[in-house]
Amino acid sequence: MQQPKKYSYLALGDSYTIGEAVPIAESFPYQTIQILRNAGYDFYAAEIIAKTGWTTDELLEAITGTTFSNPYDIVSLLAGVNNQYRGMSIDEYANSFETLLKNAISFSDKRNDHVFVLSIPDWGVTPVAKDRNPIFISAEIDRFNEVNKQLSHQYRVGYINITEETRKAAADETLLATDKLHPSGKAYGVWAKELAKKIEGVID
């Protein structure tokens, strides 16, 4: 009898991918895997290449220095908030994000539909941003997301807009972690459900 397939998942990103300020099990990659396991799919633990504070360039540098066991069945990419935070240019972001996206597609054995980009959350709605021109931050996040959305469509990968969901934190602090900046496990759970649903649509 043929053994059921065991799937692999690589998550590339920054603080939003590792789940800064929440237990690792509440991060969106881990919650996604748990949802899929509960649905009967056999997944390895998520492999995560991410660190709080990383820009797209720093994520690229980390990828270059890492040995991967690719191809992966699923790859997710969420990156760019630190480019915005540090005042880096949109053009610089576009160039580095496109390189990251090409890497992600390569890691998935060039199965574009097995790669998922998540939009950048809007930290401008958080208490941490209240004295830092929240309206400007939100507008900048929208500009960065236009770039990653356009590139996602260009390369025919999956795209999940989580930004509007993160803006609900302006009126609901249960969607924020204890640091009042990053999402809570509850918020990550919403992302995970959306990602898991899309993954179920492409795996065997």
Annotate the chain with DSSP letters as a single string: -PPPPEE-EEEEESHHHHTTTS-GGGSHHHHHHHHHHHTT-EEPPPEEEE-TT--HHHHHHHHHT----PPPSEEEE---HHHHHTT--HHHHHHHHHHHHHHHHHHTTT-GGGEEEEPPP-GGGSGGGTTS-HHHHHHHHHHHHHHHHHHHHHTT-EEE--HHHHGGGGT-GGGB-TTSSSBPHHHHHHHHHHHHHHHHTT--
Domain ranges of the chain: 6-200
14, 79 in Cβ contact below 8 A?
Answer: yes
Q: Which CATH superfamily includes the segment(s) 6-200?
A: SGNH hydrolase (3.40.50.1110)
Would the pLDDT of 70 be above 80?
A: no
Mean pLDDT calculated for residue range 142-148? 98
Mean pLDDT over the full length of the chain: 96
Q: Structure tokens of 131?
A: 């004295």
Spatial contact of 79 and 59, defined as CB atoms under 8 Å apart: yes
Tokens of 128: 């941490």
Q: What tens digit of pLDDT does each residue of 8-57 get?
A: 999 999 999 999 999 999 999 999 999 999 999 999 999 999 999 999 99
Report the predicted TM-score, pTM, of the whole model to 2 decimal places.
0.97
Judged against a pLDDT cut of 90, whether residue 86 lies above it is answered with yes
Residues 90-118 pLDDT 10s: 999 999 999 999 999 999 999 999 999 99
